[in-house]
Amino acid sequence: MRAPDIARNARPAGAAGPAGTVGAAGAVAPARLAAPVTPAPGAGGGLDTALAAEHAAVYAYGVLAARAEGALRSTMTAAFTAHRARRDRLRAMIIERGGTPAEPDASYRLPAVPSTPDQVVELAVSVERGVTAAYLETVASGDPAVRRMAALAMQECVVRAYGLRPEIETFPGMPAPASPSPAPTPAPSPPS
């Protein structure tokens, strides 16, 4: 499985890797967070990947809430609380299944530190999309309780992202399909 979107660009502090940038228009370049994925022995079913994504999301939303004001801060704080609860549930599920949940890193490198409300929203949408992708493996679990939890987690992430920016991917969590190549233009016929 490809690394979850949330696990691409935010890296533990001090780790090598590209950091996101703020574009000329002030928008955060498409950003993803990264968390190292350490499998939990015996957990399987993608719980470890989802837990790593939730650890990174909790960190990111802590930063986002601190950089936002008013209603946006309330939205970021609510997302922080939701991801923290989901993280705690994942830890419990891993332990219940005999695994050892991975601990979060002390900090993560964000792709960019947002300084405007638009940048806060852009990074939050990216976080939600990344967490959604991290749960893909988990929804294929043979355990109905894990499948249900993962499906609900993905649904919550998509709804949160849509609330921030009302657009939806064709298949949330799945990689975007390759764009078709433009049709070749026939060469003009030489005059006869």
pLDDT tens series, the chain, 192 aa: 333 344 334 444 433 333 333 332 333 333 345 433 444 344 567 999 999 999 999 999 999 999 999 999 999 999 999 999 999 999 999 999 999 999 999 999 999 999 999 999 999 999 999 999 999 989 889 999 999 999 999 999 999 999 999 987 777 777 776 766 666 666 666 676
- pTM, to two decimals: 0.72
CB-CB contact of 45 with 1 (8 Å): no
C-alpha dist (Å) from residue 91 to 85, 87, 117, 130: 10, 6, 32, 19
DSSP character for 28? B
- The reply to whether 190 falls in a domain is no
Task: Look at residue 158 in the predicted model and tell me its pLDDT.
Answer: 94
| In-domain check, residue 71 | yes
Could you tell me if residue 26 is inside a domain? no
**CATH number of the domain enclosing 143:** 1.20.1260.10
What pLDDT was estimated at residue 43? 57
Q: Where are the beta strands (DSSP E) in the chain?
A: 11-12, 108-109
In this prediction, residue 24 carries a pLDDT of 29
Domains contained in the chain, number = 1
> What sign results for the dihedral spanned by CA atoms 20, 25, 26, 31?
negative
Within a domain: 159:
yes
Residue 72 in any domain: the answer is yes
Domain membership flag for residue 1: no
Q: Is residue 77 part of a domain?
A: yes
Short-list 2, 38, 4, 43, CA closest to 143: 43
Residues in a beta bridge with 22: 28
Q: Cβ of 77: how many Cβ atoms within 10 Å?
A: 16
The residues, any chain, with a CB within 8 Å of residue 104's CB and separated by 6 or more, are 35, 55, 56, 58, 59
30 lies in some domain: no
Range of the domain at 100: 40-164
The pLDDT score that the predictor gives to residue 188 is 66
pLDDT of amino acid 3: 33
